[in-house]
C-alpha cells in the first residue's frame, strides 16, 4: 500500500484528509503544531489499522522540513503522496499589515511546499511515481480585500503547482492544487469571531453576509468532499491530470 505525508494533518482539512487516506489503507505521516499530535496519530492508526507517525516539524523552518521528509521516508519506507496543506491566515488592510505576518504566511503557505516538494522529488523521480497535492484555496484564483499575504501565497502555490507538473511529467509525478472555498475548520472559526468583532455583527450574520457572500451555494465546503478529490488525485486513474488548479468552492470562482 502507498504512503502519504500530510503537512498540517492534525487539524481541519488536513485531519479530514488523513482520515480518508487512512481509511483507504494508506500509511501516513501527519505533521502539525497541535500539542496532541501523537495522540491524533495513534488514534488514526488504531481506527484504521495502518501505520501513522506524527511530525511536529515547524513549516517556518526549512531545516526542520527537510528532516521531516527524511524521517517520513525512513518511517514509511518511501513517500508516494505529498499533501501540502499547512496554512495560516491574517486579515488586515495593507497599510496595517504586520511585516512579520506577511513573512510567516509566505513561509508556511508557500515556501514550505517548495521545501517539501524538493525533498521528496528525487525519490519520486527514481521510483517513477509521485503525487503532489497542494491544498490551495479559492484565493489562488480570486482575491479578497485585507488578505494580501494569503492571496499572494495562494496565487504563488498555483504557479508552483504548474511548474512541478511540467518538471514531473516525464517521471509520472503529478502535481495539482485543490482550491476550496470556505470550509468550517478551526482556521475559519477564528476568522468568524474576528470578523464579528470587526463588523459589529453576530457570528451568524458574518457567515451569511461576509463569508458565504461570494459562495453561491450558500454552504461551507465539506472536508469529506475535498478528501475524496485528493484521493482521486493520488490514484493511478489521475495519471493524466496534472498542473490543474481545481476549484471546489460552491461556485465562487464561476463569477
Ligand atoms: P487549520 O487551522 O484547521 O489547520 C492548519 C494546520 O496547519 C494545523 O494542523 C496547524 O498546526 C498547521 N500549521 C500551521 N502553521 C504551521 C507551522 N508553522 N508548522 C507546521 N504546521 C503548521 O486550518 P484549515 O482550514 O484546515 O486549513 C488547511 C489548509 O486549507 C490551509 O492551507 C488553508 O489555507 C487551506 N484552506 C482552508 C480553507 C477554509 O475555509 N478552512 C479554505 C481554502 C483553503
Query: Percent of the chain beyond pLDDT 70?
Result: 100
> Ligand 1: which atom is nearest the Cα of residue 59?
19
Residue 139 belongs to a domain: yes
pLDDT number for residue 50: 98
**Ligand 1 site, CB within 6 A:** 8, 10-14, 31-34, 58-60, 85-88, 108-109, 135, 137, 180, 182-183, 185-188
User: Residue 51: phi, psi to the nearest 5?
Assistant: -85, 130
Residue 130 belongs to a domain: yes
Strand partners, 5: 29, 82
145 and 59, same structural domain? Answer: yes
Give the pLDDT band of residue 55 (cuts 50, 70, 90). very high
pLDDT above 80 for 1: no
- Tens of pLDDT, residue by residue over 240-253, are 999 999 999 999 99
pLDDT number for residue 186: 87
Residue 231 belongs to a domain: yes
113 and 155, same structural domain? Answer: yes
102 and 46, same structural domain? Answer: yes
Residue 173 belongs to a domain: yes
211 and 237, same structural domain? Answer: no
13 and 53, same structural domain? Answer: yes
Residue 61 belongs to a domain: yes
**Are 248 and 229 within 8 A, CB to CB?**
yes
Residue 54 belongs to a domain: yes
pLDDT number for residue 210: 85
Q: What is the mean pLDDT of the chain?
A: 96
177 and 190, same structural domain? Answer: no
**Are 173 and 123 within 8 A, CB to CB?**
no
> Ligand 1: which atom is nearest the Cα of residue 154?
34
Domain hosting 166: range is 3-181+221-247
> Ligand 1: which atom is nearest the Cα of residue 10?
9
240 and 141, same structural domain? Answer: yes
65 and 144, same structural domain? Answer: yes
199 and 90, same structural domain? Answer: no
Q: Which CATH number is 87's domain given?
A: 3.40.50.720
177 and 188, same structural domain? Answer: no
**Are 105 and 137 within 8 A, CB to CB?**
no
CA 23, 17, 59, 43: dihedral to nearest 10 degrees? -40
CA 7 – ligand 1 centroid, Å: 9
Domain count for the chain, please give it. 2
Enzyme catalytic residues: 150
**Are 222 and 153 within 8 A, CB to CB?**
no
70 and 144, same structural domain? Answer: yes
Residue 254 belongs to a domain: no
Give the pLDDT band of residue 254 (cuts 50, 70, 90). very high
> Ligand 1: which atom is nearest the Cα of residue 223?
26
CA 126 – ligand 1 centroid, Å: 30
pLDDT above 90 for 202: yes
CA 14 – ligand 1 centroid, Å: 7
Give the pLDDT band of residue 228 (cuts 50, 70, 90). very high
66 and 21, same structural domain? Answer: yes
Q: Which of 9, 10, 13, 115 to mutate to test the pocket of ligand 1 (most atoms within 8 A of CB)?
A: 13
Residue 255 belongs to a domain: no
Q: Which of 59, 185, 190, 193 to mutate to test the pocket of ligand 1 (most atoms within 8 A of CB)?
A: 185
Amino acid at each position: 500500500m502507498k504512503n502519504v505525508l500530510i503537512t498540517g494533518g492534525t487539524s481541519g482539512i488536513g485531519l479530514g484528509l488523513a482520515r480518508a487516506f487512512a481509511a483507504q489503507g494508506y500509511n501516513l505521516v501527519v505533521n502539525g503544531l497541535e500539542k496532541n499530535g501523537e495522540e491524533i496519530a495513534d488514534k488514526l492508526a488504531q481506527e484504521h489499522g495502518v501505520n501513522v507517525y506524527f511530525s511536529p516539524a515547524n513549516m517556518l523552518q526549512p531545516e526542520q522540513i527537510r528532516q521531516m521528509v527524511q524521517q517520513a521516508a525512513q518511517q514509511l519506507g518511501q513517500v508516494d503522496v505529498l499533501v501540502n496543506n499547512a496554512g495560516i491566515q491574517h486579515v488586515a488592510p495593507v497599510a496595517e499589515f504586520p511585516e512579520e505576518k506577511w513573512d510567516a504566511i509566505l513561509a508556511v503557505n508557500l515556501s514550505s511546499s517548495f521545501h517539501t516538494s524538493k525533498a521528496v522529488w528525487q525519490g519520486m523521480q527514481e521510483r517513477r511515481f509521485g503525487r503532489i497535492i497542494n491544498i490551495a484555496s479559492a484565493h489562488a484564483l480570486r482575491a479578497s480585500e485585507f488578505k494580501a499575504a494569503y492571496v499572494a501565497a495562494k496565487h504563488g502555490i498555483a504557479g508552483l503547482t504548474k511548474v512541478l507538473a511540467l518538471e514531473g511529467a516525464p517521471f509520472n509525478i503529478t502535481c495539482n492544487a485543490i482550491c476550496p472555498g470556505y470550509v468550517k475548520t478551526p482556521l475559519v472559526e477564528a476568522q468568524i469571531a474576528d470578523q464579528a468583532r470587526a463588523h459589529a455583527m453576530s457570528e451568524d450574520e458574518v457567515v451569511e453576509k461576509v463569508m458565504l457572500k461570494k459562495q453561491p451555494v450558500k454552504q461551507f465546503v465539506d472536508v469529506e468532499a475535498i478528501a475524496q478529490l485528493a484521493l482521486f488525485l493520488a490514484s493511478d486513474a489521475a495519471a493524466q491530470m496534472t498542473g490543474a488548479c481545481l476549484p471546489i468552492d460552491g461556485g465562487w470562482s464561476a463569477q
